């Protein structure tokens, strides 16, 4: 019985104390330990979701995630986008327009990170993002508010470190977005 108790105590101390720092890379912009040990908040939800520490969705945070996504930098921006993407398949009709707009803005200003994220995510999530981005682009392109050429120009401007291969992949994705028809 005492061996079982010691094992449980060791598991608790080894498993609970610094485990968050082992699962999450050091992010200099934040005090990760204080966020993860604080009451639930937007940043804590984003960190826990981004690093699969807690996989339950909390829709009360989605509007704030979308509103703050493009104001973040570095790993924070990637975590906010990753977390936002997890909600893609569970959006309500009221959330769709804001989600699509936030997704489009993220794609325009972070095309290389967007495609890199697609390489790491599930087909279900990447298909959902394609569907939402396509719906947004097709709605606005059809209304002559924007053109594919202007989208490509903005993406090119925000992809200064991209190789020619990266630019070609991004342009092909934009063409796919335009042609995609959600069934």
The DSSP-derived string for 50-77 is HTTS-----GGGHHHHHHHGGG--HHHH
pLDDT at 182 over 80: no
Query: Sign of the CA dihedral 74, 80, 85, 86?
Result: positive
For the stretch 24-71, pLDDT in tens is 555 555 677 788 888 899 999 999 998 888 888 999 999 999 999 989
Measured in degrees and rounded to the nearest 5, phi and psi for residue 38 equal: -90, 170
Task: For 92-128, write each residue's pLDDT tens digit.
Answer: 999 999 999 999 999 999 999 999 999 999 999 999 9
Residues 42 and 68 sit within 8 Å (Cβ to Cβ) = yes
C-alpha 60, offset from chain centre: 17
Task: Please give the Cα distance from 66 to 49 (Å, whole number).
Answer: 15
């Amino acid at each position: 019985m005492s061996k079982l108790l010691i094992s449980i105590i060791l598991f608790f101390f080894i498993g609970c104390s610094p485990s968050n720092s082992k699962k999450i890379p050091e992010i200099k912009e934040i005090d990760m330990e204080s966020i993860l040990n604080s009451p639930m908040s937007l940043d804590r939800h984003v960190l826990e979701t981004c690093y699969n520490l807690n996989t339950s969705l909390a829709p009360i945070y989605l509007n704030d995630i979308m509103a703050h996504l493009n104001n973040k930098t570095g790993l924070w921006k990637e975590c906010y986008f990753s977390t936002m993407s997890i909600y893609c398949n569970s959006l309500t009709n009221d959330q769709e327009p804001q989600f699509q707009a936030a997704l489009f803005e993220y794609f325009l200003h972070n095309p290389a990170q967007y495609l890199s994220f697609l390489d790491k995510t599930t087909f279900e999530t990447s298909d959902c993002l394609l569907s939402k981005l396509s719906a947004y682009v097709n709605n606005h392109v059809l209304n002559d508010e924007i053109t594919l050429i202007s989208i490509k120009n903005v993406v090119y401007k925000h992809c200064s470190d991209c190789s020619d291969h990266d630019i070609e992949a991004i342009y092909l994705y934009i063409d796919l977005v335009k042609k995609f028809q959600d069934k």
